[in-house]
Amino acid sequence: MKFAQVNGVKAEAQQGLRGACEVCQSVMIAKCGNERMKHWAHKSKISCDPWWENETEWHRAWKNRFPENWQEIIHKDPTTGEMHKADIKTTGGLVIEFQRSAIEPAEMLSREHFYKNMVWVVDGTRLMRDYPRFCKGFSSLRQTVKGFFLSSFPDECFPSSWLASSVPVYFDFQGNGDPVQPQDARRSALWCLFPNRVDGAAVVAGVSREALVKLASTDPDLLFAHGNLTYIAEYIRLQRESAADHARKQHPDLLSLLNARRLRGRRH
Ligand SMILES: [Zn+2]
């Protein structure tokens, strides 16, 4: 963890310091070696939060994009008393979880259920095949409202374990950045897979890192996921109606011909 309580104050790890875990109050030891970035670890070596994964440079870099008073915030269920430390919790109440390891679908859903108003940012460089799969799948995306795409086969773009998420999932295919490989624009954007489906297709959008940070503070309600999906569904419906209207005006006979053919087809 980046923070522990030292004399009642949230503090970063420093050589020789001892602190208390903000969740379970047990003793935390500051780890300030050369191999890993400075962090706090439970003296007992067992983390009290089963949802906590070992922090990497990638996690830390993401957390540091947000104000310090939003980082590592305890979220408590008032009814059950269950407590977890969210990577980011904004003053507007949005939780952002950064996930590098693979996650079981059951744990993914229980975390979504616990935090409710949350989004994921997922390290899309965990497996070698993740980014090449996205590049290959990208050609099958269909542009809809500006900046948004529809995907009939989201499993061709994203790891299947994330497809059933009930909240927006932002894939970061850049990871920690590879100094050898020049970064392309597609790779430096975040790609958001929205929950639910519109017209049977998944909705995908490209967002810059800066935009995500800004959106988190200005539009905290699931980063407008539901609003976006409703808008896109309406757009598709209008588009379809206007295409049918256009066809009716241009080829009044063609449409009746098509309808007749469809009816005949159904009879066979
Ligand atoms: Zn603890």
Question: Do residues 26 and 90 share a domain?
Answer: no
Question: Do residues 34 and 69 share a domain?
Answer: no
Measured in Å, residue 192 CA sits from the centre of ligand 1 at 32
Question: Do residues 85 and 215 share a domain?
Answer: yes
Question: Do residues 113 and 22 share a domain?
Answer: no
Question: Do residues 126 and 201 share a domain?
Answer: yes
Reply yes or no on whether the pLDDT at 136 is more than 90: yes
Expressed as residue numbers, the domain containing 44 is: 1-48
- Using one digit for the tens of pLDDT, what is the confidence trace for 114-123? 999 999 999 9
- Domains: count for the chain: 2
Measured in Å, residue 47 CA sits from the centre of ligand 1 at 6
CA atoms within 13 A on the CB side of 34: 0
> What pTM did the predictor assign?
0.87
Q: How far apart are CA 24 and CA 47, in angstroms?
A: 9
Question: Do residues 23 and 103 share a domain?
Answer: no
- Using one digit for the tens of pLDDT, what is the confidence trace for 227-257? 889 999 999 999 888 888 887 777 666 556 5
Measured in Å, residue 165 CA sits from the centre of ligand 1 at 27
Measured in Å, residue 41 CA sits from the centre of ligand 1 at 9
Measured in Å, residue 26 CA sits from the centre of ligand 1 at 6
Measured in Å, residue 24 CA sits from the centre of ligand 1 at 4
pLDDT bracket for residue 91 (50, 70, 90): very high
Question: Do residues 150 and 62 share a domain?
Answer: yes
- Using one digit for the tens of pLDDT, what is the confidence trace for 22-35? 999 999 999 998 88
Question: Do residues 151 and 18 share a domain?
Answer: no
pLDDT of 264: 66
Q: How far apart are CA 215 and CA 168, in angstroms?
A: 13
Question: Do residues 76 and 174 share a domain?
Answer: yes
Question: Do residues 66 and 187 share a domain?
Answer: yes
- Using one digit for the tens of pLDDT, what is the confidence trace for 38-77? 999 999 888 888 888 888 999 999 999 999 999 999 999 9
Measured in Å, residue 108 CA sits from the centre of ligand 1 at 21
